[in-house]
Structure 1
Amino acid sequence: PKFPGVRGIDGSGDFTGGLLEQALKVGGGDPKAMTAADIDKAIDVVRKLGPDTIYWKTGAESQQLAESGEADMLMMWTGRAMTAVKNGAKYAPAWQDWLVVMDQMTIPVGVKDTDAAYALLNAYLGKQSQEVLTQTTSYTPINNEAQPKVDASVAAFLTNTPDRQSQGYKQNIKFWVENFQAAQEKWSAMMAGN
């Protein structure tokens, strides 16, 4: 590998589209123009990382790998990475081609109290709630009015600076929706040693 050393990557169950897209890029492919054949190419790149790869199963395990120094580089959530660094881990974030992760909150059809459901969403998305969330996790607020007061150790992991935003990318969701089953089967086979 271009960057030798022990890697820690997500092996928590389902494949991670972003990881396979990064692997495809290493092999010269384009995640925006993926085909089903590219799944095999990407998995082959991951497989070639070999025995110097630790597949963590939980966020807590990824943080433990960072804090122990067992892995030279880790693909992990910014909140866990920030906490590990605050606990003494000697890592810094690398922002080139970082994966923009999107979550969603929904109100189920037929919920008994829609007003309460909307109130919960509004409270979560409110300025103060988003500030507290960022101050305690390093996850960037999505409320544009939120101005969390954070120290340098937290700011190092926030994703909303113009420079960091310009280096991130969103995974090819349409491709993964259409190819989820095939990718999952191939990822599971690799994780099982096949």
Structure 2
Amino acid sequence: YKDNPPKDWKDFFDTAKFPGTRAIDGSGSPLGGLIEQAILADGGKVDAMTPADIDKGIAKIKAIGPDTIFWKTGAESQQLAESGEADMIIMWTGRAMTAVKNGAAYTPVWKDWLVVMDQLTIPVGAKDPDASYALINAYLGKKSQEILTEQTSYSPINNEAQPKVDASVAAFLTNTPDHAKLGYQQNIKFWVANFAAASDKWTALMAGN
């Protein structure tokens, strides 16, 4: 796209202005797909979603039509990037970072990027919860998080961490102030209430219906 690269989700869905193949997470859950991003592309707000938005989002994804590739695994998304088969890809930053390390020619677009939550837990009845807390604290420490990024290509979740990576890899780090402020979190309450219906419709989309 040279001097006129896509800048947001609206551009991702605009195959007239930005022709080419889109690769999308089709691994089985609507949460990894583009329903929320389709709403954002139409100027909607994720925190104000209604059940009707599920159908609107899926319709917008369908409109991309034959220009869509649904990848099933992170490895497949990375392979698509490295082969250059897709012109735009929604993919995990760690996989994207590794693909670029291996020579893929992609640049991230950060506006309204999806922040995915995860957790570390201590089982009820653990023999030594203090040791568990210590392990978690060590894992989340600045040095440990720097090593994590340098060895795995996934961004640190400790904002004080400054891993030593080259510029092409640093472009994919999520914890920099400029990148962090552009992300958003899923409307989890909405998906808890509407997951079953969304999952059925997403499965139908994956089946070509």
1:112 is displaced (CA, Å) by 4.1
Within a 5 Å distance, the mapping from 1:3-152 to structure 2 comes to 3-16=18-31, 19-152=34-167
| Alpha-carbon separation, structure 2, partners of 1:117 and 1:50 | 49
Q: Which amino acid aligns with 1:74?
A: I
1:176 to 2:197 alignment? no
Distance 1:178 1:83, change over 3 A: same
Deviates more, 1:133-142 or 1:69-78: 133-142
Distance 1:150 1:95, change over 3 A: same
1:191 to 2:191 alignment? no
Within a 5 Å distance, the mapping from 1:147-162 to structure 2 comes to 147-162=162-177
| Alpha-carbon separation, structure 2, partners of 1:147 and 1:37 | 43
Deviates more, 1:102-111 or 1:71-80: 102-111
Kindly indicate whether the alpha-carbon contact (under 8 Å) linking 1:10 and 1:16 is maintained by their aligned counterparts in 2: no
| Alpha-carbon separation, structure 2, partners of 1:30 and 1:171 | 11
The root-mean-square deviation of aligned C-alpha atoms, in Å, is 1.7
Q: Which amino acid aligns with 1:159?
A: T
| Alpha-carbon separation, structure 1, partners of 2:39 and 2:177 | 26
Kindly indicate whether the alpha-carbon contact (under 8 Å) linking 1:138 and 1:157 is maintained by their aligned counterparts in 2: no
Deviates more, 1:135-144 or 1:59-68: 135-144
1:16 is displaced (CA, Å) by 2.1
Aligned to 1:133, what secondary structure does the other structure show? helix
Q: Which amino acid aligns with 2:183?
A: G
Q: Which amino acid aligns with 1:121?
A: I
Kindly indicate whether the alpha-carbon contact (under 8 Å) linking 1:18 and 1:171 is maintained by their aligned counterparts in 2: no
Deviates more, 1:116-125 or 1:59-68: 116-125
Q: Which amino acid aligns with 1:146?
A: A
Relative contact order higher in (CA < 8 Å, ≥ 6 apart): 1
Distance 1:167 1:145, change over 3 A: closer
Deviates more, 1:179-188 or 1:134-143: 134-143
Q: TM-score, normalised by structure 1?
A: 0.91
| Alpha-carbon separation, structure 2, partners of 1:118 and 1:44 | 46
Aligned to 2:70, what secondary structure does the other structure show? strand
CA-to-aligned-CA distance 1:150-171 (integer Å, 9 cap, x gap): 2212211111222222221112
Unaligned runs of 5+ residues in structure 2 are 1-14
Identity of aligned residues (%): 74
